[in-house]
Structure 1
Amino acid sequence: MLQTIEMINNAVNNFVWGVPAMVCIIGVGLFLSLRTRFLQIRKFPYAIKTTLGRMFRKREASDGAMTPFQAVCTALAATVGTGNIAGVAGAIAIGGPGAVFWMWISALLGMCTKFSEVTLAVHFRERNARGDLVGGPMYYIKNGLSKYWQWLAVAFSAFGVLTVFGTGNATQVNTITTAINSALLNYNVISDSAVNLSNIIMGITIAVLVGLVLLGGVKRIGSVAEKLVPFMAVFYIILALGVVLLNIENVPRVLYSIVYGAFNPSAVTGGVVGGFFLSVQKGVSRGIFSNEAGLGTGSIAHACADTQKPVKQGFFGIFEVFTDTILICTLTALVILCSGVPVSYGSAAGAELTILGFTSTYGNWVSIFTAVAMCCFAFSTIIGWGLYGARCIEFLFSSRVIKPFMVVYSLVAILGATVDLGLLWSIAETFNGLMSIPNLIALFLLSGTVVRLVKEYFSTEGKDA
C-alpha cells in the first residue's frame, strides 16, 4: 500500500516540480513583469526606500491586524527557513554552481510575482467573524474573479491545509532536533543512546512553544516574528559574510563558476553534472521553494497588515524575495563554494554541506552557532505556516475551527521530532507545489487589476518616485 502511494506521489511530484510547472511559474512571473514594465527593476530603489523606511517606524496596529513590519516579518519567518541552508546546498550538489544563477533569475521574476500577490491580497481582503483581517489567494480569487472560478479558492485552501503539517511543521521540527543533537553529540554532551529521549523532550518543548505563540492570535504571531526574524537573519548574514571575507581570494573564481556553469555545467563539475536543464530546474525550483513566489502563501501574512495602500504593502513582497534569495541564499552558496569544501556533484546534499563550509573556515566551535541559526530558521517557519494553515482551514469551514487546528498543529511537532518522516516530506512537497496552480491561474486572470492599482498609486501617492 505504501509503495503504491509512493509511486503515485512521485509521479505527481515529478510533474508539479518538473519542467512544465517551472515554465508556468517563470512564465507568469515574466508575464506580470512585462505588464508592469518590470516594476521590480524600475522601482527597486523606491521599493527599498519605502520598505526600510517603514520598518523602523514605531507604531501600533489596530485590533485584529499587524503593523506592516510585523506582516513582512511573519512572511519572512515562513520563507527564510531551512530551504536557505539545505535547499541551496542541494541545488549546487545536483545542478552544479550554475544552479545559483538560475536561482537569481527566478528571484528577479519572483519579485514581481510576489509584489502582485501581496497587492491583490491587501486589496481583496476581508474581516472575519472575530474582527481579524484575512486575505490571500483564496480571497482574491473569491472577491476578484467570477463565481465560475471559485473552485480555485477551495482547491488552494485544501492543498494549503494538507501542506502545513508536513512542510511547515514536522520536517522543520526534524531539522531542529537533528541540528541540536549533532551539536550535543559533537561535544559529547549526550550519547547515541540518549538521542531518542532528547527528541521526545525537544518535541514536547517545541509543541508547547508553538501553541503559546499561535493561540495568542495574529498580534502575538506578529510580535514574535518581528523580534525573531531580524535577529536570525542578521546573525546568519554576519556568520556567512565572515566566511566570504576570510576566503575573499576565491570569490572571483566562484562567481565565474556560477555564471559559466549556468550554461556549461559539465565544464565546471568535471562532467558529473552534464544537464543544462537539470541546472535550470534545480536553481528555479529551489529558489521558488525558498521564497515562495508563485505559491501565494506569503500574501496571507501581508493581508493582516494595518495599511490602506495595497501597492505600498506590495513593495514588501519585492523586499522579501530580495532578502530571502538574492541575499541569504546567495550567501549560503558563497559559504559552500568559497570555503573550498568538497562537493559531491550529482548526489544529494543538505544542511550538512553548508555547515561543513562554516566549520572548515571557523572550526568545530561554530557548529553550536549554526545549530542555533537552523533552530531559529525552522521555528520561525513553523510559526509562519501555522498562520497560513489557520487561514486556509478557516476559509473552508469557519473561524470556530481555528483554535482546534492550532492545538493539533502544535502537537504535530512531537510527531516530527520522533518519527522517520520519509514519505510525509515527499507528499507535503507535492501538495506545496499543487498550491501554486490555482494561485498562478488567479494571478494571470487578475494581472489587469494589478496594473490598474499600480497606475492609480503612482498617479497620486507615489508620483514622486
Structure 2
Amino acid sequence: MLQTIENVNAVVNNFVWGVPAMVCIIGVGLVLSARTGFIQFRKFGYALKNSIGRIFTKSEAKEGSITPFQAVCTALAATVGTGNIAGVAGAIAIGGAGAVFWMWVSALLGMCTKFSEVTLAVHYREKNAEGDYVGGPMYYIKNGLGKKWYWMASVYAILGSLTVLGTGNATQVNTITTSIDSALISYNVIDDAQVGMVNLVIGIVIAALVAVVLLGGVKRIGTVTEKLVPFMAVFYIILAIGVVALNADKVPHVFEMIFVGAFNPSAFTGGVVGSMFMTMRRGVSRGIFSNEAGIGTGSIAHACADTDEPVKQGMFGIFEVFADTIVICTLTALVILCGGEGIQYGVAAGAELTISGFVTTYGSWVTIFTAIAMCCFAFSTILGWGLYGARCVEFVFTTKVVKPFMIVYALVAILGATVDLGIIWGIADTCNGLMSIPNLIALFLLSGTVAKLVKDYFAKQEKKN
C-alpha cells in the first residue's frame, strides 16, 4: 500500500514539477519583474533600508495586528526552516551542485514574486469576526479577481489547510528529532534502541509548546518569532561562515561545480546526474520549498502587519527571499560542498548531509550546536505554518474552527516525531506545487494592479522628497 502511494505521488510530483511548472514559475516571475521595472534590483537598496533598517525601530501594533517587523519575522520563521538545511542537501544529492545555480535563478525572480504576493495581500486584506487582519492568496483572489474566482480561492485554502500538517509540521518535527538523536548518539547518551522513546518525549514537548504559542493568537506568535528568528539566523550564519573560512581553498572549485554543473551535471557527479532538467527542477522546487515565493503562504503573515502601505510592506518580501535563499541556502550549500565528504549523488539525503559538513570541519562536538540551530529553524517554521493553516481553515469555515484546528495541528507534532516520514517529504513537495497553481494564476492576472501600486507609491514618495 505504501509503495503504491509513493508511486502515485511520484507520478503527480513529476507532473506538478514538470516543464509546465518551470515555465509558469519562471514566466510569472519574469512578467512581474518586467511590469514593476525589475523592482527587486532597481529598489534593492530601498528594500534593505526598509527591512533591516526597521529592525531596530521599536513600535507597537494596533489591536488585531502585529508590527511590520513581527510580520516579516513570522514569515521568515516559516521560510527559514528545514528547506534551508534538509531541502538544500536533497537538491544537491539528487540534482548535483548545479542545482544551487537554479536555486539562485528562482530566488532572483522569486524576490519580485514574493514582493507582489505581500503587496497584494496587504492591499486586499480584510478584518475577521475577531477584529484581526486576514489576507493572503485566497483573499486577493476573492477580492482582486471577483466572485467568479471564489472557487479558486477555496481550492487554495483547502490545499493550504492540508499542506500545513505535513510541510509545516510533521517534516519539521522529523528534522528536530533527527538532529537531537544524532547529537545524543554521538555522545553515547542514548543508543539506537532508545531512540523511539526519546522521539516520543520530544514530540509531546513540541506539541505542548506549539499549542501554548498558537493558542495565544497572532500577537503571541509575532512576539515569539521576532525574538527567535534573528537569534537562529545569526547563530547558523556564523557556524556556516566558519566552515567556509576553514575550507577557503575549496571554494573556487565549489563554485566551478555550481556553475558548470548547472548545465553539465554529469561532469561532477560521475554521470549519476546526467540531465540538466533534473538539476534545474531540483534547484527550482527546493528553492521554492525554502523561500515559498510562488506559493503565496508568506503573504498571509504580512497581511497581519500594522501598515497602510502595501508596497512598503512588500519590500520585506524582497528581503525575505534574499535572506532565505541567496544567503542562508547558499551557506548551507557551501557547508555541504566544502566541508562534507562522500556525497552519494542520486541517493536521497536530508539534514544528515548538512550535519556531516559541520562535523567534518569542526568535529563531533558541533552536533550539539547544529541540533540547537535545527531545532530553532524547525520550531519557528511550525509556528509560522500554524498561522497559515489557521487562516486557510478560517477562510473555508469560520473563526470558530481555528482553535480546534490549532490543537489538532499541535498533536501532529507527536506523529511527526514517531513515524517514518519518507513519503511525507514527497507529498509535501507535491502539495507545495499544487498550491502554487492558483496563486500563480492570480499573480499573473493581478500583475497590472501590482504595477499600478508600485507606480503610485513611488510617485508619492517623490512628492514627499
Q: Work out whether residues 161 and 392 of structure 2, in 8 Å CA contact, stay in contact via their aligned partners in 1.
A: yes
Residue in 2 that maps onto 1:104:
104
Instruction: Describe the superposition over 1:342-366 as per-residue Cα deviations: whole angstroms up to 9, x where unpaired.
Output: 2222222211111111111111100
Which stretch of the first structure deviates more once superposed, 267-276 or 448-457?
A: 267-276
Amino acid aligned to 2:152: L
Question: Would you say 1:189 and 2:189 are equivalent positions?
Answer: yes
CA–CA separation in structure 2 for the residues paired with 1:119 and 1:340: 40
Deviation of 1:426 after TM superposition, in Å, equals: 2.9
Residue in 1 that maps onto 2:447:
447
Q: Work out whether residues 114 and 321 of structure 1, in 8 Å CA contact, stay in contact via their aligned partners in 2.
A: yes
Residue in 1 that maps onto 2:154:
154
Instruction: Describe the superposition over 1:299-332 as per-residue Cα deviations: whole angstroms up to 9, x where unpaired.
Output: 0000000000000000000000000000000001
After TM superposition, list the pairs within 5 Å mapping 1:345-360 onto structure 2.
Answer: 345-360=345-360
Relative distance call for 1:270 and 1:196 in structure 2 (3 A) is: closer
Residue 461 of structure 2 aligns to a residue whose secondary structure is coil
Residue in 2 that maps onto 1:204:
204
CA–CA separation in structure 2 for the residues paired with 1:231 and 1:31: 36
CA–CA separation in structure 1 for the residues paired with 2:98 and 2:240: 20
CA–CA separation in structure 2 for the residues paired with 1:431 and 1:275: 24
CA–CA separation in structure 1 for the residues paired with 2:161 and 2:371: 29
Amino acid aligned to 2:285: S
- TM-score by structure 2 length? 0.97
Residue in 2 that maps onto 1:437:
437
Q: Work out whether residues 340 and 356 of structure 2, in 8 Å CA contact, stay in contact via their aligned partners in 1.
A: no
Residue in 1 that maps onto 2:120:
120
Q: Where in structure 1 are there 5+ consecutive unaligned residues?
A: none
Q: Work out whether residues 162 and 428 of structure 1, in 8 Å CA contact, stay in contact via their aligned partners in 2.
A: no
Residue in 1 that maps onto 2:87:
87
After TM superposition, list the pairs within 5 Å mapping 1:403-422 onto structure 2.
Answer: 403-422=403-422
CA–CA separation in structure 1 for the residues paired with 2:342 and 2:54: 43
Deviation of 1:430 after TM superposition, in Å, equals: 1.9
Instruction: Describe the superposition over 1:258-294 as per-residue Cα deviations: whole angstroms up to 9, x where unpaired.
Output: 1122122222323232211111111111111110000
Amino acid aligned to 1:357: G
CA–CA separation in structure 2 for the residues paired with 1:463 and 1:174: 52
Q: Work out whether residues 119 and 311 of structure 1, in 8 Å CA contact, stay in contact via their aligned partners in 2.
A: yes
CA–CA separation in structure 2 for the residues paired with 1:134 and 1:327: 30
Residue in 1 that maps onto 2:249:
249
Amino acid aligned to 2:408: V
CA–CA separation in structure 1 for the residues paired with 2:328 and 2:375: 16
Which stretch of the first structure deviates more once superposed, 278-287 or 127-136?
A: 278-287
CA–CA separation in structure 1 for the residues paired with 2:347 and 2:191: 30
Relative distance call for 1:15 and 1:125 in structure 2 (3 A) is: same
Residue in 2 that maps onto 1:68:
68
Deviation of 1:421 after TM superposition, in Å, equals: 2.5
RMSD: 1.4
CA–CA separation in structure 1 for the residues paired with 2:194 and 2:96: 38
Residue in 2 that maps onto 1:136:
136
Residue 54 of structure 2 aligns to a residue whose secondary structure is helix
Deviation of 1:17 after TM superposition, in Å, equals: 1.9
Deviation of 1:146 after TM superposition, in Å, equals: 2.1
Residue 273 of structure 2 aligns to a residue whose secondary structure is coil
Q: Where in structure 2 are there 5+ consecutive unaligned residues?
A: none
Residue in 2 that maps onto 1:225:
225
Deviation of 1:251 after TM superposition, in Å, equals: 1.4
Residue in 2 that maps onto 1:375:
375
CA–CA separation in structure 2 for the residues paired with 1:347 and 1:423: 15
Residue in 2 that maps onto 1:320:
320
Question: Would you say 1:33 and 2:53 are equivalent positions?
Answer: no
Relative distance call for 1:3 and 1:95 in structure 2 (3 A) is: closer
Residue in 2 that maps onto 1:336:
336
Deviation of 1:62 after TM superposition, in Å, equals: 0.7
The size of the alignment, in residue pairs, is 465
Which stretch of the first structure deviates more once superposed, 219-228 or 185-194?
A: 185-194
Instruction: Describe the superposition over 1:19-70 as per-residue Cα deviations: whole angstroms up to 9, x where unpaired.
Output: 2212211111111111112110111111111111112100111111110000
